[in-house]
Chain A
Amino acid sequence: MTQAAVTQVFIPSQLTSYTGGATRVDASGATVGSVLDDLDRRFPGLKFRVVDEQDRVRRHMRLFIGRRETRSVAAPLQDGDELLIFGALSGG
């Protein structure tokens, strides 16, 4: 059985109300989507504010695996990867 990767996730200010103020949390999962699922189990409601019901990353949210941007929840993660969630600019 494959061990789920442990990923450190950067939480942007827009979402720290879900994480009790934490800006870095660990989560498990082999893909971006499964890491977000793991976060959602611990911080209910967080995932839906980042990814819509069709599993599309919301328009003004940006996800990076290390320095590589991804818009896919199917993107694979390796043990030790860092997933960074940012709220991009969205007007005044």
Chain B
Amino acid sequence: MTDAIQLLVGTRKGAWIYRSDAGRSNWRVQGPVFLGSIVNHLVLDPRDGRTLLMAASTGHLGPTIFRSTDDGATWTEAAKPPAFARSDDPRARAVDHSFWLEPGHADEPGVWWAGTSPPGLFRSADGGATWDSVAGFNDHPSYWDWCPPEAGTPDGSLLNQIVIDPRDAAHMYVATSSGGVFETLDRGATWAPLNENVRADFLPDPYPEFGQDAHYIALSPTNPDRLWQQNHCGVYRLDRPGTRWSRVGEAMPPEVGDIGFTVVPHARCAETAWVWPMDGTDVWPRTSPGGRPAAYRTRDGGASWERQDRGFPTEQGWFTVKRQAFCADDRDPVGLYLGATNGEIWMSGDEGESWRRIAAHLPEIYSVVAAPLRA
């Protein structure tokens, strides 16, 4: 491995891979890959450093998974993509698109997990070639309460994140757009809601057991007992074994607020994380507040936040950063990367102190994943 980074970029019209030099200064581009396909997620397997999995569909064709083991030069389609069980139930579900791909635990090579719309959890034990429905979630007796079909986000309800405890492969969290966060201690066989004190201001009971819209969850890499959540209704933190989330976003400037799609923890400091606020007022424009794009960083676990906007437009900047499109690498100093709805990729090589645009004119960006680049 070198200090170089690759950015795996999924867009509404295909995928691109950007590869840096060791200084993260210059970037080479590969792509488009599957031009015209909707690519929600493109992920590198950290266990072998070479396998790429891509969640793809098109406006016409059904969803599938592609796999590459040669740095994206050639791709093989999954023989059995994620699909719900056949059913005569009038509510019978069909996967519209795979949204999130998660490599399995380090001790389980070949295992991958996928989250879909409508909300579904799927598992592959063969490196992504065949996928099985995880009945513990998808057929849970409370599934239709947790994931009501009418509670969709604009592109459909989601199981939008899968997080695995690095200390225990059986311990996982998922985030959904209609039920909030759920936890399993037995590798997905049983699940319980984990949403105490998380607001859902669009429901009659604003603090329900489930029903929240968890836009994004992430574990602190150095403290897997610390969970960050960017929720539809604010930024939260949970320190396990506690079960009650704290709304740390209340410390954000009130004129900016703590609405957003994503939260990015620091690779080495559990007190540090970044959010990308968006306008959640009146009709929810979901643009950069005031047309002034900025990241906000906390270095004290969410007690305070500082604005980081050097390099971004100072006015009339209205782009949005979607939930899989903001990420960090693990270099020192940490590099930050975001893909915008206007097709630009921005990066910071100094932990958010300054930003520069490294790509433009791509289609609407859905996801950006930073991964080490093999030598």
Name A's B-contacting residues (CB within 8 A).
14-15, 44-45, 48-56, 58, 60-61, 87-88, 90-91
| Centre residue among B58, B59, B85, B87 by max chain A CB count within 10 A | B59
A15 to B85, CA, bound (A): 25
User: In the assembled complex, which residues on chain B have CB atoms less than 8 Å from the CB atom of A50?
Assistant: 61-62
CB of B361 within 8 A of chain A? Answer: no
Chain B interface helix/strand/loop/mixed: loop
Question: Is there an interface contact between A44 and B79, defined as CB atoms closer than 8 Å?
Answer: yes
Residues 82-115 of B at the A interface (beta carbon under 8 Å): 83-87, 92-95
CB of B60 within 8 A of chain A? Answer: yes
Closest approach, in angstroms, between the C-beta of B7 and any C-beta of chain A?
26
Residue pairs across A and B with Cβ atoms less than 8 A apart, 18 shown, are A44-B77, A44-B79, A45-B78, A45-B81, A48-B64, A48-B81, A49-B62, A50-B61, A52-B83, A53-B83, A53-B94, A54-B86, A54-B94, A58-B60, A58-B61, A60-B59, A61-B60, A61-B61
A-B pairs with lowest CB-CB distance, top 5: A90-B59, A52-B94, A87-B60, A53-B83, A49-B61
User: In the assembled complex, which residues on chain B have CB atoms less than 8 Å from the CB atom of A15?
Assistant: 61
Question: Is there an interface contact between A14 and B87, defined as CB atoms closer than 8 Å?
Answer: no
User: In the assembled complex, which residues on chain A have CB atoms less than 8 Å from the CB atom of B85?
Assistant: 53
Closest approach, in angstroms, between the C-beta of A63 and any C-beta of chain B?
12
Question: Is there an interface contact between A14 and B79, defined as CB atoms closer than 8 Å?
Answer: no
User: In the assembled complex, which residues on chain A have CB atoms less than 8 Å from the CB atom of B60?
Assistant: 14, 58, 60-61, 87-88, 90
User: In the assembled complex, which residues on chain A have CB atoms less than 8 Å from the CB atom of B95?
Assistant: 52-53
A45 to B93, CA, bound (A): 19
User: In the assembled complex, which residues on chain A have CB atoms less than 8 Å from the CB atom of B61?
Assistant: 14-15, 49-50, 58, 61, 87
A49 to B95, CA, bound (A): 11
Give 1 or 0 for each of B69-83: 1 = CB within 8 Å of chain A CB.
Answer: 000000001110101
Give 1 or 0 for each of B33-62: 1 = CB within 8 Å of chain A CB.
Answer: 000000000000000000000000011111
User: In the assembled complex, which residues on chain B have CB atoms less than 8 Å from the CB atom of A87?
Assistant: 58-61
- Classify chain B: how many residues form its interface, as a range: 10 to 19
User: In the assembled complex, which residues on chain B have CB atoms less than 8 Å from the CB atom of A14?
Assistant: 58, 60-61
Question: Is there an interface contact between A48 and B62, defined as CB atoms closer than 8 Å?
Answer: yes
Question: Is there an interface contact between A56 and B79, defined as CB atoms closer than 8 Å?
Answer: no
Closest approach, in angstroms, between the C-beta of A72 and any C-beta of chain B?
15
Closest approach, in angstroms, between the C-beta of B190 and any C-beta of chain A?
24
Contacts beyond the supplied A44-B79, A50-B62, A54-B87: 10 A-B pairs with Cβ under 8 Å: A14-B58, A14-B60, A45-B77, A45-B78, A45-B81, A48-B64, A52-B62, A52-B83, A56-B94, A60-B59
A70 to B194, CA, bound (A): 45
User: In the assembled complex, which residues on chain B have CB atoms less than 8 Å from the CB atom of A45?
Assistant: 64, 77-79, 81
User: In the assembled complex, which residues on chain B have CB atoms less than 8 Å from the CB atom of A51?
Assistant: 62
User: In the assembled complex, which residues on chain A have CB atoms less than 8 Å from the CB atom of B83?
Assistant: 48, 52-53
Closest approach, in angstroms, between the C-beta of B32 and any C-beta of chain A?
15
User: In the assembled complex, which residues on chain B have CB atoms less than 8 Å from the CB atom of A53?
Assistant: 83-86, 94-95
A56 to B81, CA, bound (A): 16
A65 to B103, CA, bound (A): 43
| Centre residue among A49, A51, A91 by max chain B CB count within 10 A | A49
Closest approach, in angstroms, between the C-beta of B307 and any C-beta of chain A?
35
Question: Is there an interface contact between A54 and B64, defined as CB atoms closer than 8 Å?
Answer: no
User: In the assembled complex, which residues on chain B have CB atoms less than 8 Å from the CB atom of A52?
Assistant: 62, 83, 94-95
Question: Is there an interface contact between A91 and B79, defined as CB atoms closer than 8 Å?
Answer: no
Closest approach, in angstroms, between the C-beta of A19 and any C-beta of chain B?
14
A71 to B94, CA, bound (A): 16
User: In the assembled complex, which residues on chain A have CB atoms less than 8 Å from the CB atom of B79?
Assistant: 44-45
Closest to A56 in B: B94
A58 to B94, CA, bound (A): 10
A87 to B59, CA, bound (A): 9
Closest approach, in angstroms, between the C-beta of B1 and any C-beta of chain A?
34
User: In the assembled complex, which residues on chain B have CB atoms less than 8 Å from the CB atom of A44?
Assistant: 77, 79
Residues 158-186 of B at the A interface (beta carbon under 8 Å): none
A54 to B86, CA, bound (A): 6
Question: Is there an interface contact between A58 and B62, defined as CB atoms closer than 8 Å?
Answer: yes
